[in-house]
Amino acid sequence: MAQQNNQLDREKICCSVCLDLLKDPVTIPCGHSYCMNCIKSHWDTEDEKKTYSCPQCRKSFIPRPVLVKNTMLADLVEELKKTELQDLVEPDKNLQENICPRHDELMKMFCRTDQQCICYLCSVDEHKGHDTVSAAAERTERQRELEGSRHNIQQRIQDREEDVKLLQQEVEAINGSADKAVEDSEKIFTQLIRLMEKRRSDVKQQVRSQQETEVSRVKELQEKLEQEITELKRKDAELKKLSHTEDHTQFLHNYPSLSALSESTHSSSINIRPLNYFEDVTAAVSEVRDKLQDVLRETGTNISLTETEVDVLLPNPQPEPETRAGFLRYSSEITLDPNTANRHLLLSEGNRKVTHMSRQQSYSSHPDRFTMWPQVLSRESLTGRCYWEVEWRGGGGGEVAVAYKNISRVSGFGRNDKSWSLDCHNDSYKFYHNKVKTPVSGPRSSRVGVFLDHSAGILSFYSVSETMTLLHRVQTTFTQPLYAGVWINPDSSVALLPVSV
């Protein structure tokens, strides 16, 4: 309560100019009191007008009033100062920062024009004419802005905390979904493995059962034939003995019974099958393996996260493309493997171009290197649907091929059962596979396109110019991943072209 009374007393005897306790208080004719220096400074600014006004009520005086110290107010100020000194008030640690460095007065005013705190002398000096208010009034205004800023910050904090909770929920949902997907996948693959194990057991049992049946059939026939052989040998011995009998009557008597033969096993009942009794089983199992590999390979690259779920996209059978744009959808980036290149071949342009050189290159020894013929395989294996193009440069030409990885390193493309090759030189085409040569007709072009549908067993070669012309198509069963290959004749080079839609 004492502090409140002091505050009220202090407001009554404060100068309205400097907003501090009156110093050498004087009372002007209108009854308002000011510090002597404050009113003097105010009237000094009005000397040119020869009219002197009250800073509070704006009443004018002519001439300039004579200022006389108000001793009663001075005594009241002194009493208030003594009272304040007796109160236990913590000194302002930042007092020095609140003192005007120019006038050594408290900065209790604020200049909105220059956005800085000033003292009352500054307001009538260098800040004269500026928009000035008391520091308390500016504080009130800024306090409202501060509360608005705090409200905005607190709202943003609340919003961000909600966002963090949502993200945490999403993390938990992702982890939960992933854990469930892994768990379910493990169960499905376990079931698939069990199904494959059962199928393997069934196939094995069926093969063994059929093997036993077939072997029993053959052995039974074999025993009948052996019995017949034994009987025929016995008959032959008796007839031989009879042939040496000198007694004609005895000969004629015994001959009818000895010459009669039992019914013979006809050769048509002996069904000798080809040696590949169960190769159809192997082929069927291989086909299942290839289809499963293709499904898993294509499925593995099509597992994509959407906004709501994980979709496993299974491949659908598609017809062979009919246009170049259709083939380009399956374009493959292929590079050549230096470890397979014959020593007369020079690779360049990022291992996409190969040139036949008269001088051998200094390649290191490698078991995959072709040693007999000037040919090279790709680094990338080819499965699924693939399309690529090669361009011949120079007059020598060569061959475009595909081959299994385990092709003999001393065998040429198409000269074995592990590779397929299109010969593209001498202004003609010839197709080779397993040492069989097939003439091919078609328009001559420096560029050849190759389309492979591994699972369907389709391999097609096209002459590429403004249009695509089918040169040769192979329909077979591929049992291993394939690799692109080229055979380069002297004075020639070939480039694997990057193709895109």
Distance of alpha carbon 55 from alpha carbon 62, whole angstroms: 15
What share of the chain has pLDDT > 90, as a percent?
Answer: 33
Does residue 275 carry a pLDDT above 70? no
Q: Please tell me which residue, 86 or 379, carries the higher pLDDT value.
A: 379
Distance of alpha carbon 402 from alpha carbon 460, whole angstroms: 11
Q: Distance between alpha carbon 410 and the CA centroid of its chain, in Å?
A: 41
Query: Prior bond to 63 cis, omega within 30?
Result: yes
Among residues 452, 314, 475, 310, which one has the least CA distance to residue 385? 452
Residue 345, SS3 per DSSP: strand
Distance of alpha carbon 422 from alpha carbon 232, whole angstroms: 60
As a dihedral over the C-alpha atoms of residue 39, residue 42, residue 43, residue 45, rounded to 10 degrees, the angle is 160
Q: Are 385 and 452 in contact (CB under 8 A)?
A: yes
Question: Once rounded to an integer, what is the mean pLDDT over residues 470-494?
Answer: 92
Q: Residue 263 to residues 219, 260, 481: CA-CA distances in angstroms?
A: 20, 10, 57
Distance of alpha carbon 65 from alpha carbon 52, whole angstroms: 8
| Helices 135-243 and 279-300, packing angle to 10 deg | 170
What share of the chain has pLDDT > 70, as a percent?
Answer: 86
Give the pLDDT confidence score for residue 430 in this predicted structure.
Answer: 93
pLDDT digits (tens, 9 = 90+) for 353-401: 999 998 999 999 999 999 999 999 999 999 889 999 999 887 778 899 9
Does residue 471 carry a pLDDT above 90? yes
Give the pLDDT confidence score for residue 306 in this predicted structure.
Answer: 38
User: What does the H/E/C string look like for 21-52?
Assistant: ECCCEEECCCCCEEEHHHHHHHHHCCHHHCCE
Distance of alpha carbon 348 from alpha carbon 363, whole angstroms: 14
The confidence band for 93, taking pLDDT boundaries of 50, 70 and 90, is low
Q: Token match 């698939």: residue?
A: 192
The phi and psi torsions of 99 (rounded to 5 degrees) equal -95, 130
The Cα diameter of the chain in Å comes to 195
The confidence band for 289, taking pLDDT boundaries of 50, 70 and 90, is confident
Q: Residue 159 to residues 162, 163, 169, 172: CA-CA distances in angstroms?
A: 5, 6, 15, 20
Does residue 153 carry a pLDDT above 80? yes
Q: Are 170 and 163 in contact (CB under 8 A)?
A: no
Residue 348 Rama label (left phi>0; alpha psi -120 to 50; beta): beta
The confidence band for 251, taking pLDDT boundaries of 50, 70 and 90, is confident
Q: Are 46 and 124 in contact (CB under 8 A)?
A: no
Chain mean pLDDT for the chain: 83
Give the pLDDT confidence score for residue 310 in this predicted structure.
Answer: 33
Does residue 7 carry a pLDDT above 50? no
As a dihedral over the C-alpha atoms of residue 228, residue 229, residue 234, residue 236, rounded to 10 degrees, the angle is 110
Distance of alpha carbon 444 from alpha carbon 424, whole angstroms: 9
Does residue 338 carry a pLDDT above 60? yes
Does residue 332 carry a pLDDT above 90? no
Question: Once rounded to an integer, what is the mean pLDDT over residues 286-297?
Answer: 76
Question: Once rounded to an integer, what is the mean pLDDT over residues 107-122?
Answer: 91
Render 421-489 in DSSP notation, one character per residue: EEE--TT-EEEEETTEEEEE-----SEEEEEEETTTTEEEEEEESSSEEEEEEEE----S-EEEEEEE-
Residue 28: both structure tokens together: 């002007």
pLDDT digits (tens, 9 = 90+) for 411-460: 999 999 999 999 987 678 999 999 999 999 988 888 999 999 998 899 99
Distance of alpha carbon 290 from alpha carbon 294, whole angstroms: 6
Q: Are 397 and 492 in contact (CB under 8 A)?
A: yes
Burial label, 432 (beta-carbon count in 10 A; 0-12, 13-18, 19+): buried
Q: Are 225 and 217 in contact (CB under 8 A)?
A: no
293-297, 470-474, 493-497, range with greatest mean pLDDT:
470-474
Q: Where are the alpha helices (DSSP H) in 45-88?
A: 71-86
Residue 343, SS3 per DSSP: coil
Burial label, 471 (beta-carbon count in 10 A; 0-12, 13-18, 19+): buried
Residue 81: both structure tokens together: 């100062």
Give the pLDDT confidence score for residue 198 in this predicted structure.
Answer: 87
Residue 201: both structure tokens together: 């057991």
Give the pLDDT confidence score for residue 85 in this predicted structure.
Answer: 58
The confidence band for 11, taking pLDDT boundaries of 50, 70 and 90, is low
Residues β-bridged to residue 482: 382, 404
Q: Token match 């004419």: residue?
A: 129
Residue 48: both structure tokens together: 């040119």
Give the pLDDT confidence score for residue 263 in this predicted structure.
Answer: 65
Question: Once rounded to an integer, what is the mean pLDDT over residues 50-77?
Answer: 88
Give the pLDDT confidence score for residue 271 in this predicted structure.
Answer: 54
Give the pLDDT confidence score for residue 105 in this predicted structure.
Answer: 86
Q: Are 28 and 65 in contact (CB under 8 A)?
A: yes
Polymer length of the chain:
501
Give the pLDDT confidence score for residue 254 in this predicted structure.
Answer: 81
What domains lie within the chain, and their CATH numbers? 2-86 (3.30.40.10), 324-496 (2.60.120.920)
Helix (H) or strand (E) holding 375: strand 375-382
Among residues 427, 422, 419, 432, which one has the least CA distance to residue 478? 419
Residues β-bridged to residue 496: 390
Give the pLDDT confidence score for residue 309 in this predicted structure.
Answer: 36
